[in-house]
Amino acid sequence: MIKLAMPIYVELLTAVVAVGLIDLLWVSGLGADAVAAVTVATTAEYLAYGLFLAVPTGVTVLVGRRDGREPLSPVIRTGWWLWAACSLAITVPGVLLREPLAALFTDDAGLTASYFLISLGGLPVYFAQTVVDGVLKGMGDTRRPMRHALICNALVIVLDPLLIYGLGLGVQGAALATVLARAATLAVSLRTLARRTPREAAPAPRAGRALLGRRQAVLDSLAGDVLRTGLPMSGDFLARALVGMVLVDIVAGFGTAELAGYGIGQKVMLAGVMVFYAFRQAAMIRTSRTEPTGSPLRLGLLAGAAVAVVLNAVAVPVTGLFADDPSAAVSFLRWMTLYLIPFGALIAVGGVLQASGRGSRLLAATLAGFAVQLPLAYLLSAWLGITGVWLSMAAGAALSLAGALVPRGSGPWSARGRAPRPTRTAAGPRSGR
């Protein structure tokens, strides 16, 4: 599990750096308005990805279930059909409504809208990359997606200064650099996917029409399977994003210093939290492939404790890099110890739930935790101040974990053996790797 998760962790960490910090670093020389435009655009892209997340998640699980047992090409074709439909449904409204969308977040809507024109228009490229990486992960390959993320990062580092300052494109140059880097990376990854995907024999000419009809029926069925499998993950992702926005509003009521400390602490904590999401993907991949996962619950609890220890150790020196007075950020990270342990376990266990067709239980547990967390945040903050908000986060995570584990039954939380592999059908030729 750890060996499988490490490349995923590097990929996740690298992707965040490429999308956010590199662009922000280079546009910072253009002024506060440029920084605000990139920040808003990154947030919008984050939410757009949450809408699309169901597709690569579902593709990963279904490819894992079929790999070595049934043909992969129907799932891959279904993933591309869903990519086309979702890209159209998300990108076109986003581009057409870019000006009113920008006006919701910034005073200089024109600058943000110009960034949106390119960044939102380039979302299909970003989405396509996630589909390719989703297929590769379903095959049990997490190293190539990591390499793709590193290639994209390197290209952004080179293209940002060239387009922003060398060609004088300003903020639009940052957006264009990211899209071009992703397009070049996608070209590389598509070649990789073509080499990794086994070829299937062409149908006999006279059987072609009937076979096409059957294939369309299979694609329609698989589209439903992909979405049913992946939608709980999208729901979980978007719910966390919306609750995060509510928490920002609550914390803002305690003053600028507390809000800044919360923002800095969140950025520092993000590097640790990605460990949990790497384990979730690893658990999802191995469960879909009916390979042993050990105990995701214990692994998540230990990962949560380890991340908490590291963050407490580095809290003062690291937050001091971002603020002259890091006390608010340090206090946040100290209290997050209570949150990180149950949260790490919840995320790790969620990978098993997702791959075993019980993603709806994970989403229900997440929503139940938030239904308790938000009222508690208001009530406890009135009594304990900002500390009440941090305690509400811990309570919500603990409740979500309990909900994900009940009823526990004979589930996979402590299973160490290999799950029984599905029987290969006569109609499903074994696909090679």
Domain segments of the chain as ranges = 1-198, 230-417
Q: Residue 140: how many CA atoms within 13 Å on its side-chain side?
A: 15
Alpha carbons 282 and 9: distance in angstroms, whole number:
10
Mean pLDDT of 107-122: 83
Region 406-429: mean pLDDT is 45
Provide the pLDDT for residue 426.
Answer: 37
Q: Supply the pLDDT for residue 20.
A: 65
- What mean pLDDT comes out for the span 59-82? 90
| CA-closest candidate to residue 355, choices 405, 423, 278, 287 | 287
pLDDT given at position 419: 41
**pLDDT confidence tier of residue 418, bands split at 50, 70 and 90:** very low
**Model confidence pLDDT, tens digit, residues 294-308:** 899 999 999 999 999
Residue 203: per-residue pLDDT: 52
Statement: residue 32 has pLDDT above 80: no
Tell me the angle at which helices 208-252 and 256-288 cross, rounded to the nearest 10 degrees.
Answer: 150
pLDDT score for 415: 40
Higher-scoring residue by pLDDT: 272, 36: 272
Residue 255 has pLDDT above 60, yes or no: yes
Give the residue, 345 or 112, on which the prediction is more confident: 345
Higher pLDDT, 172 or 433: 172
Residue 416: predicted pLDDT = 43
pLDDT (0 to 100) of residue 343: 96
d(CA 8, CA 140): 11
Give the model's confidence band at 139: pLDDT under 50 very low, under 70 low, under 90 confident, else very high.
very high
pLDDT of residue 219: 57
Q: Which residue has the higher pLDDT, 55 or 32?
A: 55
Mean pLDDT of 12-28: 73
pLDDT at residue 379, rounded to an integer:
94
Q: What average pLDDT does the segment 109-121 reach?
A: 85
Contact 164, 173 (CB under 8 A): yes
Largest Cα–Cα distance in the chain?
Answer: 76
Model's pTM, two decimal places? 0.84
